[in-house]
Structure 1
């Protein structure tokens, strides 16, 4: 009998612009390459990434 390891899970929460969505997709891909699986909806993840941004002064002045 062999023991199976419980897969490590992640959740990426994105706030911000389209670039944040793209960055979150990249982060998800890197985590999956490292052996993580996306956590099911409502499940507690081993890793949670909050991807946010702040408006820079120059962009805000436009």
Structure 2
């Protein structure tokens, strides 16, 4: 996994946490759900990159 990918995935996850928190604080369920979606997307991308890395090593 490249450093750019790691940084991008982490920033997407952090952005999702911020959106989720703002959504909870403001009562905006759509923003909160969008934050959850961003965090899940970030996690899936990390998992995919980890699989790629595992196969590169063999």
Where relative contact order (Cα < 8 A, 6+ residues apart) is larger, the structure is 1
Class of the TM-score when normalised by the shorter of the 2 chains: 0.3 to 0.5
Q: Between Structure 1 and Structure 2, which shows a larger proportion of helix residues?
A: 2
